[in-house]
Amino acid sequence: FQKCIDVAKHKLYYNGDITSLRQFKKMQERFPSIDHFMIGRGLITDPFLPSMIKNGTTEYPKNRWELFEAFHNEIYEQYDAALSGPTPIKMKMLGFWEYFSRSFSNPQKTYKKIKKATNPVKYKQAVKEILNTERYIHPLTFPKKKVLELESQVFFKSPKISRLVFVDSNFKFIL
């Protein structure tokens, strides 16, 4: 990438391996001339990553699991509206959970629970159980009321979920 920076005459974006605030800062220090970064799997793994980068913190919002639940439910509902039948929806959601599970206290158990859900009712129950477990482990994050907007300003209204975009005044993150 450095060789590209050295010879490129146009605007470059850094893409890849940004999975934490620490990793983002490392790339920022390594490539100080770059001011645009794209996050893919890091964003799916942790939807709060853009907010953490923007605010320079590793702290999660107090209503982390409620916000995650709203994020998850929106993705699920969009797929449910766009796809036919429970199998394609489950396969799409499994792809997300492969990454989502990495930010839970027990990633293997979380992913296994989702994978074992054989129908939409069992899937929704598994999600509910997973989130309730995390709320118990992290009691300060238990929701007081339903929040429908994500604090991290992640917009995901594409009916086919082909693109997730986070935008603020300094950075643009595209998935």
Q: What angle do CA 159, 21, 113 make, to 5 degrees?
A: 55
pLDDT for 138 equals 56
pLDDT over threshold 80, residue 26: yes
Whether the predicted pLDDT of 4 surpasses 60: yes
What are the distances in angstroms from CA 143 to CA 20, 68, 70, 83, 135? 25, 11, 12, 30, 8
Report whether pLDDT(145) > 50: no
What six digits make up the tokens of 17? 């391996």
Q: What is the mean pLDDT of residues 84-93?
A: 93
Report the pLDDT averaged over residues 149-173: 39
How much is the pLDDT for 140? Answer: 43
